Structure 1
Amino acid sequence: MGGPKNTSYKETYLTLDRLKSWLPKDFIAQLYGLQLCGNYGDAMTNPELVNIIKYIKSINPKICITMNTNASGRNEEFWTELGKLFRDEGNILTFSVDGLEDTNHIYRRGTHWKKIMNAMKWFVKAGGRGKWEFLVFKHNQHQVEEAKQLAVDIGLKQFFAKAALGFVNQPITEDGRKYNSWMKVLKDDGQLDYFIEQQDKSLNTNEIKLYLKESGFTKSEEQSIEPDELAKKFNDPKAFHKPRIDKQIIDNKRTLSPYEIELGQTDIHCVAIPKKGIFIGHDGLVFPCCFTASKYYANPSSYEVSQLQDFINGYGTRNISLEYNSLKDIINGPMFQGRWPDNFKSRDIRDKRLITCSLFCGKKTNHEFKKTKDSIKAERSLI
């Protein structure tokens, strides 16, 4: 989606050689599942993706691999090879496509519709098990059933429609128009392009079509990033780019609002612990989950983001990097055995409690995340 340039994110991709050095064979062999889902990137664009999956499956043939992609790139040979690797039960590729040809680009900026459709068809033709995940917004809510039928026609196994995260629930007026629950889409120069709004179930199809005409949604230039382009951009993960911290955002002496007090008081039920899951970034940094990783690489535009970045940088990125440590030493080290659990035990966001953990795993404060999970309507077997 269009937004301000993320100066905290450094584009790299994971190479097969680096993966081999990071993850021992005995670790890969005991894995139940592997999810390829980037916070800021798309595994599809990795030039070595097919070889990486083949390597993992050669060590652990029964592993369940899942992957998310917007599918706006690569050629028939790639999608055919990928389809062959996703034939087995338990392996599934999620096509993240939020609308049809006239609406998908509103949220998925720069995507190429014809490439997406071809990718789905080539993947399925090769025997790949795939599903369509459809984020529902106000501008595409009238297209859910049509998209579901398209998924059936293509031969996908499942179709999911779910509510999107990331809205600001604070009324705002822009150019005489009021928005209650919104997210901004910005141009390349940082200026406002348009607003995306949350689903409105009170509107019928004709009203949504009128809304589309009146909203001034622009279509950015279709992009199709190919692996050769990424290879030229590759940077050494050893050269860490620490996010800058806006210290003025972190004021641990301020008076908390009732909601901020609740963020500290709520019990944390960490989603990563029962599954024994970890998240490994493209640069080798190890986190408990994708939620914490996403905030670390984000622009420091809020107390939540700056707090998480300060928490990581205070310990040192080198100490959670697979470039300098074994995975076993990182998991058994002070960060995972001390700092992360201590944040769960703290009862004050001015102390050790991380807002990110409360928002996603707080028993009484994960409202938006729970709303999204509860909204999922899955057709378990379309075919």
Structure 2
Amino acid sequence: MYSQVDIRRIHLEMTTRCNAACPMCSRNERGGFQIADLPQVDLTLLEVQRMLPPHFIEQLEQVWLCGNYGDPIIAPDTLEVLTYLKAVNPKIRLGLNTNGSARKPDWWQRLARVLDHCHFGIDGLSDTNHLYRRRTHWNVIMANAAAFIDAGGAAHWEFIVFRHNEHQISEAQELARTMGFRKFRLRKTGRFFFDGQLHPALDIQDTSGKTIYSIEPPIDICLRNASSAELGGIASERNGYANYLDTTLIECKAQTERELYISAEGLVFPCCYLASWYRGSRRKRDAQFQKLLEQHGGRNSIDARLRPIGEIIEGGIYRGIVTSWSQPSVAQGRLATCSGTCGGDSPNRHQYTNAIYLKPVHRDERDTH
């Protein structure tokens, strides 16, 4: 696929733990309860130092802290890991995605000194954000974002659009401006397309499995994910989606951007999509990729705590991934995950609108919130 000297970006999952229960997140069953087979683990500073030694960090352009299952602000060593990376390579760009609803303001002030930009996932205002970002607290988010911004941090507001918050876009953008956020960007989620079909809504359940409310796409068609609608049409045809997975052109984003994904268990994948090991009952495990992995040495063959990253990505499993793309069908070995996420009509390609750069507001002019 590529060699270690080619890598320029690392997508680092610091933890599988999270304070929130977002209903479309891979860690939850419709937001009600955590999937049963998800381990609760964090990467430590020592583990990161072993996996990412100084000579490797020096060639990197960016490290991004996000993940499939956890929020990096929950991991105990996140600030220490960022400090280590910046000390080794002062030119490296460090970013982080978060719901913002954990830690104290003083931690966020320290974060602002080492982080290049922080993307806050805030999907609405005080009366709506919690409908998707379940178990988060508006006042905590606002205090932490303000502390980060006032300490000089570059904050970006990312707003996933749903029916229940689409009327608040302008107000949220103005709040972002007055608080001092640098950018405001809308996200058009592709996650209403799952289990091979487009769903009109997602029922949110409590821990007993009882539906308590539903999340729906925005009414405004322009705010919906166009690829999800296209795939929904394909899926409605007889064998349409299966044929799409067999024939779509795969353009690997990780390969193009020379990126790797390192999970909270220290496992090295090309991307976060192949790293979705734990899916619960609503989304079955990707047995196809796991079978391929077993053919090339199993889990230990991609564990960066056991072997160098260069050895992993130059090994058989990575060659097997690339080879799979040329197979004539999923049944004959083409990885369905690669077709579904990096195929020509993937919802992941059309989830963002252009970022709005916000005119700076002098600190004395900022509104209270």
Cα pair distance change 1:303/1:53, threshold 3 Å: closer
Question: Secondary structure at 1:322's aligned position in 2?
Answer: coil
Q: Which residue of 2 aligns with 1:94?
A: 119
Residues 80 and 184 (structure 1), Cα distance of their counterparts in 2 relative to 1, 3 Å cut: same
TM-score, normalised relative to structure 1:
0.77
Change (3 A) 1:202 1:168: closer
Q: 2:88 aligns with which of 44, 59, 71?
A: 59
Q: Check conservation: 1:162, 1:377, Cα contact below 8 A.
A: no
Q: Deviations over 1:291-340 (max 9, x none)?
A: 221x322225446734344444554111100122110100111111x211
Find the aligned partners of 1:35 and 1:347 in 2 and give their Cα distance.
34
Q: How does 1:189-228 map to 2 (within 5 A)?
A: 189-201=208-220
CA–CA distance in 2 between the matches of 1:344 and 1:183? 32
Greater helix share, structure number: 1
Paired with 1:304 and 1:49, the residues of 2 have a C-alpha distance of 28
Q: Does residue 146 in structure 1 map to residue 171 in structure 2?
A: yes
* Structure 1 position 122 matched with structure 2 position 103: no
Contact 2:277 2:285 (8 Å CA) reproduced: no
- Residue of structure 2 equivalent to 1:217: none
> Is 1:7 equivalent to 2:36 in the alignment?
yes
2:4 aligned partner: none
Question: 2:257 matched to 1:275?
Answer: yes
- For residues 198 and 108 of structure 1, what CA distance do their matches in structure 2 show? 15
Question: C-alpha deviations, 1:253-287, integer Å up to 9, x for none?
Answer: xxx81320221111210001121100000100111
Aligned-partner Cα distance in 2 for 1:276–1:12? 26
% identical aligned pairs: 32
Cα offset, 1:194, TM superposition: 2.1
Unaligned runs of 5+ residues in structure 2 are 1-21, 223-237, 361-369
Task: Give the structure 1 partner of residue 5 of structure 2.
Answer: none
In structure 2, the CA distance between the partners of 1:307 and 1:194, relative to structure 1 (3 Å rule), is farther
Secondary structure of 1:67 counterpart: strand
Give the Å deviation of 1:344: 1.3
Aligned CA RMSD, in angstroms, stands at 2.2
Q: Which residue does the alignment assign to 1:372?
A: 351
TM-score of the two chains, using structure 2 as the length reference: 0.80
Q: 1:9 to 1:202 in 2, by over 3 A?
A: closer
* Paired amino acid for 1:283: E
For 1:302 and 1:113, how far apart are their aligned partners in 2?
A: 30
SS, match of residue 18 in structure 1? helix
SS at match of 2:273: helix
> Residue 50 of structure 1 contacts residue 82 of structure 1 at CA under 8 Å; is this kept in 2?
yes
Code of the residue aligned with 2:328 in structure 1: it is R
1:227 corresponds to which residue? none
Which residues in structure 2 correspond to 1:168-187 (within 5 Å)?
168=193, 181-187=200-206
2:157 is aligned, of 111, 132, 135, to: 132
Question: In 2, are the aligned partners of 1:133 and 1:160 still within 8 Å (CA)?
Answer: yes
The question of whether the paired residues in 2 share the 8 Å contact of 1:169 and 1:181 is answered with no
Q: Contact 1:14 / 1:283 at 8 angstroms: preserved in 2?
A: yes
SS at match of 2:159: strand
| Residues 1:47 and 2:85 are matched in the alignment | no
Q: Determine the C-alpha separation between the residues in 1 that align with 2:294 and 2:244.
A: 26
Contact residue 304 and residue 356 of structure 1 kept, 8 A: no
Residue of structure 1 aligned with 2:182, choices 157, 182, 185: 157
Q: Residues of 2 paired with 1:324 and 1:83: CA distance? A: 33
Q: Deviations over 1:100-152 (max 9, x none)?
A: 11101111110011100001100001000110000000110001111101111
Which residues in structure 2 correspond to 1:351-362 (within 5 Å)? Answer: 351-362=332-343
Q: Does structure 2 conserve the Cα–Cα contact (< 8 Å) formed by 1:300 and 1:306?
A: no
- Structure 1 regions of 5+ residues with no counterpart? 173-178, 204-255
Q: Give the paired residue count.
A: 314
**CA distance in structure 2 between the aligned counterparts of 1:129 and 1:44, rounded to whole angstroms:** 16
Distance 1:360 1:119 in 2: 33
